[in-house]
């Protein structure tokens, strides 16, 4: 092999990789991650560049993983569905039996060297499993298949709810429900579920929700009822957002941010940092990017070749939506506080990795026809 | 979905659901957008204000308290800078360990720790709290070298109140100490003399005048609080100063006191208990105000130690008591010149009218004895003062009647506060039938007995006045009825504008006294110092002076002969002396009271001599010899009078003065 040959083979390889990229998606995600870096820099400015650098590394790893997944054809992904789901269920049972408790929640499984949170795995395994399931029975779908799908959805959800982790339960449940919805769950059943759900709310309030969860909901309704306790986060983040005004206070100039009034400012509450420094103009851009991301995902879903691809792409797109909406809704005080990071913006490696796996899947679906 | 559908239909249905999802995404982001619009556009001002009030904290800057100087400008109270060690508990990870480690490099006593813990309970967690005051240079250096080990511990330079003359004029100057709860409430609604509310002016202030001038002129001395706009973080730590409006220091008080004279007078008292007030009769300026023993106001400044407080409070001599304005005693024979003045003014006597003194005065079936056995013989008014003839005043009091005596003495200022500019003055007791009715509950005791009037005539009985009142009354006589308010502050200099404001130059009222009568009294009192009980003390003085000695009874001997040497000290008579000089144009008026001093001529008059010598003739103190001589010379041989109807608790014992 001479040098020319090596270069040509490298170029060929690059072209192969490039062929499995979706440029609009790449552009949108790139823009979101750029905003994320700028905001993480501001939110962690007082600690030097440690977090910024580590977020750069997180992004590099996540982009690499995305590129790898984009190369895999959807059939390969389909083969992973059942093993991942089963692994997820086993790990969740493991958590229930041998899990490690932190702050009163049993969410972690200790594997000697590291602790893992199996509910995170379920966020990907769930839509994958249900998409595989509907795809497998595509030609013979009956009501019972929807019942089985609901069961597949509920088992892990109940396990996560017991930990307790209401936020993740709702997100995992949502990701699975989106698959079932796109698979064609009848409107009558959905209406029935909605009515039953509403009727069950008082019951759930009394018996399912934990004290701290009830408090979070009550705090949302009236943050000033506990201004130094549970309401403090919401009060301070809404002050940060509101005081940002039209064009913000300017990068690195947010007083709420830099004087430490915003809690969890580089993770779950990073939206408050961004809003304070860039104002509603910045928020408009951010929301526009999220809308474009979700729409691009839905377009990919609409044009996907197989039922598996369609369902998976549709569900993943809506998961991006639900993450972004729940996070921004909670930080701006219209939703209760649940531990959801802002996609592509919040500091943190694991969440970003999961999101980029999703982007990789969308690209794979888009580019393998 | 009970029936298989055509794949085409399924795809269309799927795409419809995708479209629906797209619409819902727009809808939900629309809701979010509306929320953000509400926060960032509609409510922007509200949240901007809240963000600003989050970040900006108004920190008061306590002004420097004004100085107090004497009439020559000698500093009596000032501020000095000292290093303090202060801890901010919220910055300290382990307080107890930090305290232990600090003890190694800086001396921390149990009382420091006690105060620290008390202050910590009273303050918020993020404030810095005093642990030690007045660090030595060596301690500051040791701490500086170890500073890195102590996060949240700081050495600060603070101003402390200092009274450089220590005990000098302590009762007049007073002291400052920590603001207590009661004072805090009082400040809320307090206003200064110009009517400006002062509550806000004490933000951040911890000290306030407790007694004396420091209390009376609190609002002059305090100054106006300044403010710094400080940016704070969520934990309340100051990040930087945004704006600063500096405080205005308090005003400087220039006193009427002459600290050299004051010092001299205090020294003349030595260890004896008592008080002295020297006034300038021409304007009411207080030249000296002594209450002996005194205390050191410096002890109070950064919180008095418990044992110091205990010692002051339980000392048998009561050093915290301001005797000059609060201890009222019967004036004894020093009352006689005032009685004589009253007799002339009320036209009860003429100077020439004489009595024959048989050595006693019989009233009803009771006999009031004179101190001189066999009496003074023929006595006119002049002689009655010079030789202090009791019989003359027994009769005079009886002729004048208690109402007239009481009315006249009130005109001279007795029985009322003089209005001196330090708090805590007593009214004393000017006896009258109305006073007695109010004073006693029992109807039998409420009645005024004519016999009681006779005791009042020689300054005994219920009479009780402070040395300040006696000096004030004498000054009012010498002034021919022009009454000046005695005052300690001569001028107030506004530190901000540099303007000096002088106080009190005009009389507060005018009583009608005949100058001829006044001249007569002055002359009679001059006679006392020339040939009477004051003659010994004032022998060879380089100036003319007038005076009158007096003795206030402490203990009723019930028929025994009074002998000072045989009595326990606490039961000995109080000795009085009132005086003025020079006779022609008096420049100084004095009243001296020495507790348990025995005869006025022995204890009190020599002090007056020293003060006059100093004030009028420069620093020639020559009273020491006279004092010793007087002690051996004075004869004391009074007798208990037979009990008169309604005799007051301390019955006149023919005070020999």
Asked if A317 and B21 come within 8 Å (Cβ–Cβ), the reply is yes
* pLDDT attached to residue B181: 86
**pLDDT tens-digit series, residues A234-293:** 899 999 999 999 999 999 999 999 988 898 899 999 999 999 999 999 999 999 999 999
Residue position matching structure tokens 């104002």: A279
Chain B residue numbers with beta carbons less than 8 Å from the beta carbon of A303 are none
Per cent of chain B over pLDDT 90 is: 54
- Whether B623 shows a pLDDT value over 50: the answer reads no
Q: Residue B356 — φ and ψ, nearest 5°?
A: -105, 120
Q: How distant is the Cα of B241 from the closest Cα of chain A, in angstroms?
A: 14
Tell me the residues of chain A between 64 and 103 that have a Cβ less than 8 Å away from chain B. none
* pLDDT attached to residue B631: 38
| Alpha-carbon gap, residue A357 to A292, rounded angstroms | 18
- Whether B645 shows a pLDDT value over 50: the answer reads no
- Whether B652 shows a pLDDT value over 70: the answer reads no
Eight-class DSSP state of B250: P
- Catalytic positions of B, please? 333
Q: Which of B609, B284, B648, B629 is nearest to B478 (CA)?
A: B284
* pLDDT attached to residue B124: 63
B55 interfacial to chain A (CB closer than 8 Å)? yes
- Report long-range pairs for A48-53 (Cβ below 8 Å, ≥24 apart): A51/A266, A51/A347
**pLDDT tens-digit series, residues B136-157:** 888 888 888 888 888 888 888 7
Chain A residue numbers with beta carbons less than 8 Å from the beta carbon of B17 are 181-182, 184, 314
- Whether B577 shows a pLDDT value over 80: the answer reads yes
Rounded to an integer, the average pLDDT of B116-132 is 77
B194 interfacial to chain A (CB closer than 8 Å)? no
- Domain segments of chain B: what residues? 57-74+165-234+244-255, 80-164, 260-299+322-633
Higher per-residue pLDDT: B467 or A204: B467
Rounded to an integer, the average pLDDT of A60-83 is 94
User: Helices in B346-449 by DSSP H: which ranges?
Assistant: 381-386, 390-400, 402-411, 433-439, 443-446
Q: Residue B233 — φ and ψ, nearest 5°?
A: -90, 180
Q: CA B80 → CA A287, B91, B298, distances in Å?
A: 62, 29, 12
Q: How distant is the Cα of B239 from the closest Cα of chain A, in angstroms?
A: 8
**pLDDT tens-digit series, residues B182-192:** 998 899 888 88
Nearest to A238 among B37, B47, B233 (CB): B47
- Whether B68 shows a pLDDT value over 80: the answer reads yes
pLDDT-based confidence at residue A362 (cuts at 50, 70, 90)? very high
A349 interfacial to chain B (CB closer than 8 Å)? no
A127 interfacial to chain B (CB closer than 8 Å)? no
* pLDDT attached to residue B200: 81
| Alpha-carbon gap, residue B395 to B375, rounded angstroms | 14
Rounded to an integer, the average pLDDT of A51-78 is 94
* pLDDT attached to residue A361: 95
Mean of per-residue pLDDT scores for chain A:
89
Mutate to test the interface with B, among A184, A188, A241, A242 (most CBs of B within 10 A): A242
* pLDDT attached to residue B144: 85
pLDDT-based confidence at residue B602 (cuts at 50, 70, 90)? confident
Asked if A143 and B2 come within 8 Å (Cβ–Cβ), the reply is yes
A332 interfacial to chain B (CB closer than 8 Å)? yes
Rounded to an integer, the average pLDDT of B373-379 is 89
| Alpha-carbon gap, residue B271 to B267, rounded angstroms | 9
| Alpha-carbon gap, residue A59 to A17, rounded angstroms | 18
Residue A219 lies in a domain: yes
> What number is the ipTM of this complex?
0.94
Residue position matching structure tokens 């001569």: B490
What pTM value is reported for the model?
A: 0.71
* pLDDT attached to residue B511: 93
- The angle at the Cα of B348, spanning B345 to B352, to the nearest 5 degrees, equals 90
pLDDT-based confidence at residue B158 (cuts at 50, 70, 90)? confident
Rounded to an integer, the average pLDDT of A152-164 is 90
Rounded to an integer, the average pLDDT of B576-585 is 95
Chain B residue numbers with beta carbons less than 8 Å from the beta carbon of A310 are 14
pLDDT-based confidence at residue B563 (cuts at 50, 70, 90)? low
Higher per-residue pLDDT: A1 or B514: B514
* pLDDT attached to residue A109: 76
Rounded to an integer, the average pLDDT of B438-453 is 89
HEC letters along B569-610: HHHCCEEEEEEEECCCCCCEEEEEEECCCCCHHHHHHHHHHH
Residue A108 lies in a domain: yes
Class of domain B260-299+322-633: alpha beta
Q: How distant is the Cα of A243 from the closest Cα of chain B, in angstroms?
A: 4
Domain count, chain A: 1
Q: Which of A253, A60, A92 is nearest to A163 (CA)?
A: A92
- Whether B322 shows a pLDDT value over 60: the answer reads yes
Q: How distant is the Cα of B34 from the closest Cα of chain A, in angstroms?
A: 11
Strand B252-255 to B68-69 pairing: parallel
Tokens of B518: 């006044």
- Whether A226 shows a pLDDT value over 70: the answer reads no
Residue A6 lies in a domain: no
**pLDDT tens-digit series, residues B159-173:** 889 999 999 999 999
> Does domain B57-74+165-234+244-255 correspond to CATH entry 3.40.50.970?
no
| Alpha-carbon gap, residue B281 to B473, rounded angstroms | 10
A292 interfacial to chain B (CB closer than 8 Å)? no
A305 interfacial to chain B (CB closer than 8 Å)? no
Check: CB of residue A322 under 8 Å from CB of residue A174. Answer: yes
- Burial of B137: CB neighbours in 10 Å, binned 0-12, 13-18, 19+: exposed
| Alpha-carbon gap, residue B529 to B551, rounded angstroms | 16
Asked if A302 and B32 come within 8 Å (Cβ–Cβ), the reply is no
Q: Which of B60, B279, B76 is nearest to B167 (CA)?
A: B76
The secondary element (H helix, E strand) that includes residue B482 is strand B482-483
- Spatial neighbors of B316 by CB under 8 A, at least 6 apart, are none
Chain B residue numbers with beta carbons less than 8 Å from the beta carbon of A261 are 51, 54-55, 233-234
B353 interfacial to chain A (CB closer than 8 Å)? no
- Spatial neighbors of A154 by CB under 8 A, at least 6 apart, are none
Residue A11 lies in a domain: no
Asked if A245 and B44 come within 8 Å (Cβ–Cβ), the reply is yes
Nearest to B39 among A241, A260, A325 (CB): A241
Asked if B40 and A239 come within 8 Å (Cβ–Cβ), the reply is no
Range of the domain at A199: 23-367
- Spatial neighbors of B486 by CB under 8 A, at least 6 apart, are B277, B279, B284, B285, B286, B418, B419, B420, B468, B471, B472
Q: Is A361 helix (H, G, I), strand (E, B) or coil?
A: helix
Nearest to A259 among B15, B46, B55 (CB): B55
pLDDT-based confidence at residue B5 (cuts at 50, 70, 90)? low
B9 interfacial to chain A (CB closer than 8 Å)? no
- Whether A128 shows a pLDDT value over 50: the answer reads yes
* pLDDT attached to residue A325: 96
Q: Tally helices (H) and strands (E) across chain A.
A: 14, 3
| Alpha-carbon gap, residue B144 to B541, rounded angstroms | 62
Tokens of B91: 């910055």
* pLDDT attached to residue A214: 80
HEC letters along B429-470: ECCCHHHHHHHCCCHHHHCCCHHHHHHHHCCCCCCEECHHHH
| Alpha-carbon gap, residue A108 to A94, rounded angstroms | 9
* pLDDT attached to residue A208: 74
Rounded to an integer, the average pLDDT of A160-173 is 86
Size of interface A-B (CB pairs under 8 A): 135
Tell me the residues of chain A between 311 and 330 that have a Cβ less than 8 Å away from chain B. 314, 317-318, 321, 325, 328-329
Strand ranges of the sheet holding B285-292, from the earlier edge strand across to the other edge: B285-292, B274-280, B588-594, B574-581, B546-552
* pLDDT attached to residue B445: 86
Nearest to A334 among B4, B35, B44 (CB): B35
- The secondary structure of A144-166 as a DSSP string is HHHHHHHHHHHHHHHHHHTTT-H
Residue A121 lies in a domain: yes
Asked if B234 and A261 come within 8 Å (Cβ–Cβ), the reply is yes
Q: CA B5 → CA A142, A310, B1, B376, distances in Å?
A: 11, 17, 9, 147
Alpha-carbon dihedral of residues B300, B301, B304, B305, nearest 10 degrees?
-130
């Amino acid at each position: 092999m001479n040098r020319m040959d090596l270069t040509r083979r490298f170029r060929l390889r690059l072209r192969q990789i490039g062929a499995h990229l979706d440029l609009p998606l790449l552009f949108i995600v790139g823009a979101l991650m750029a905003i994320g870096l700028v905001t993480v820099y501001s939110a962690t400015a007082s600690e030097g560049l440690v977090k910024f650098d580590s977020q750069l590394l997180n992004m590099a790893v996540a982009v690499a993983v995305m590129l790898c997944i984009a190369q895999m054809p959807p059939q390969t992904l389909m083969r992973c569905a059942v093993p991942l789901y089963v692994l997820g269920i086993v790990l969740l049972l493991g958590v229930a039996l041998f899990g490690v408790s932190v702050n009163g929640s049993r969410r972690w499984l200790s594997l000697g060297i590291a602790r893992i949170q199996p509910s995170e795995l379920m966020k990907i395994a769930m839509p994958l499993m249900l998409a595989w399931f509907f795809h497998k029975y595509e030609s013979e779908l009956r009501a019972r298949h929807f019942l089985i799908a609901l069961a597949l959805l509920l088992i892990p959800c109940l396990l996560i709810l017991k930990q307790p982790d209401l936020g993740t339960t709702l997100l995992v449940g949502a990701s699975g429900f989106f698959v079932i919805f796109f698979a064609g769950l009848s409107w009558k059943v959905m209406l029935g579920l909605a009515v039953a759900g509403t009727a069950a709310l008082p019951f759930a309030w009394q018996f399912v929700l934990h004290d701290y969860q009830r408090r979070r909901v009550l705090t949302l309704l009236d943050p000033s009822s506990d201004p130094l306790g549970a309401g403090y986060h919401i009060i301070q983040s809404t002050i940060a957002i509101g005081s940002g005004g039209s064009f913000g206070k300017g990068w690195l100039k947010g007083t709420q941010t830099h004087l430490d009034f915003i809690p969890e400012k580089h993770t779950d509450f990073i939206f408050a940092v961004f809003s304070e420094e860039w104002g509603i103009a910045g928020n408009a851009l951010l929301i526009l990017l999220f809308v474009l991301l979700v729409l691009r995902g839905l377009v990919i879903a609409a044009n996907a070749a197989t039922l598996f691809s369609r369902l998976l792409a549709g569900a993943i797109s809506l998961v991006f939506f639900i993450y972004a909406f729940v996070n921004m809704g909670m930080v701006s005080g219209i939703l209760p506080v649940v531990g959801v990071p802002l996609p592509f913006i919040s500091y943190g490696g694991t969440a970003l990795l999961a999101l980029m796996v999703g982007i990789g899947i969308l690209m794979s679906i888009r580019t393998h026809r | 979905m009970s029936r298989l559908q055509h794949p085409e239909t399924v795809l269309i249905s799927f795409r419809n659901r995708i479209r629906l999802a797209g619409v819902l995404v727009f809808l939900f982001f629309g809701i979010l957008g509306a929320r953000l619009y509400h926060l960032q556009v509609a409510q922007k001002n509200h949240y901007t204000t809240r963000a600003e009030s989050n970040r900006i904290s108004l920190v008061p800057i306590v002004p420097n308290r004004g100085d107090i100087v004497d009439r020559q400008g000698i500093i009596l109270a000032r501020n000095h800078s000292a290093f303090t060690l202060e801890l901010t508990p919220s910055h300290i990870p382990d307080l107890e360990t930090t305290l232990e480690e600090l003890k190694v490099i800086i001396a921390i006593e149990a009382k420091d720790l006690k105060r620290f813990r008390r202050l910590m309970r009273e303050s918020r967690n993020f404030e810095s709290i005093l642990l030690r005051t007045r660090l030595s240079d060596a301690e500051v250096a040791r701490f500086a070298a170890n500073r890195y080990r102590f996060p949240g511990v700081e050495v600060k330079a603070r101003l402390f109140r200092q009274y450089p003359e220590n005990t000098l004029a302590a009762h007049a100057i007073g002291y400052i100490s920590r603001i207590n709860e009661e004072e805090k409430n009082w400040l809320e609604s307090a206003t200064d003399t110009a009517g400006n509310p002062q509550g806000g002016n004490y933000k951040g202030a911890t000290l306030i005048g407790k007694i004396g001038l420091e209390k009376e002129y609190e609002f002059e001395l305090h100054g106006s609080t300044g403010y710094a706009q400080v940016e704070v973080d969520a934990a309340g730590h100051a990040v930087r100063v945004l704006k600063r409006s500096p405080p205005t220091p308090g005003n400087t008080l220039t006193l009427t006191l002459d600290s050299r004279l004051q010092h001299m007078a205090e020294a003349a008292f030595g260890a004896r208990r008592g008080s002295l007030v020297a006034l300038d009769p021409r304007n009411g300026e207080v030249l000296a105000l002594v209450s002996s023993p005194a205390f050191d106001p410096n002890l109070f400044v950064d919180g008095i130690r418990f044992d110091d407080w205990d010692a002051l409070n339980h000392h048998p001599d009561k050093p915290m008591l301001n005797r000059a304005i609060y201890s009222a005693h019967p004036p004894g024979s020093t009352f006689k010149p005032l009685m004589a003045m009253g007799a002339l003014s009320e036209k009860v006597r003429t100077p020439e009218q004489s009595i024959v003194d048989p050595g006693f005065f019989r009233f009803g079936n009771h006999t009031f004895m004179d101190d001189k056995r066999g009496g003074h013989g023929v006595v006119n008014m002049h002689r009655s003062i010079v030789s202090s003839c009791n019989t003359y005043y027994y009769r005079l009091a009886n002729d004048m009647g208690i109402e007239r005596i009481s009315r006249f003495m009130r005109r001279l200022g007795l029985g009322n506060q003089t209005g001196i500019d330090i708090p805590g003055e007593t009214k004393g007791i000017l006896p009258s039938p109305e006073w007695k009715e109010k004073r006693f509950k029992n109807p039998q005791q409420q009645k005024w007995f004519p016999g009681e009037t006779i005791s009042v005539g020689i300054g005994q009985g219920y009479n009780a006045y402070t040395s300040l009142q006696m000096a004030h009354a004498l000054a009012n006589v010498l002034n021919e009825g022009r009454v000046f308010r005695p005052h300690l502050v001569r001028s107030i200099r506004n530190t901000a504008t540099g303007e000096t404001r002088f106080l009190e130059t005009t009389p507060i009222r005018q009583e009608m006294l005949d100058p001829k009568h006044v001249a007569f009294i002055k002359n009679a009192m001059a006679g006392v110092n020339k040939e009477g009980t004051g003659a010994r003390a004032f022998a060879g003085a380089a100036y003319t002076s007038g005076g009158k000695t007096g003795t206030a009874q402490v203990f009723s001997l019930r028929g025994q002969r009074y002998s000072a040497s045989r009595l326990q000290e606490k039961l000995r008579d109080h000795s009085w002396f009132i005086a003025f000089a020079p006779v022609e144009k008096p420049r100084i008026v004095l009243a001296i009271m020495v507790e348990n001093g025995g005869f006025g001529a022995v204890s009190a008059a020599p002090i007056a001599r020293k003060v006059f010598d100093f004030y009028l003739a420069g620093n020639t103190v020559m009273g020491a010899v006279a004092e010793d001589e007087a002690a051996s010379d004075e004869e004391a041989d009074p007798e208990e009078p037979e009990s008169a109807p309604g005799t007051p608790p301390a019955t006149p014992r023919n005070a020999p003065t």
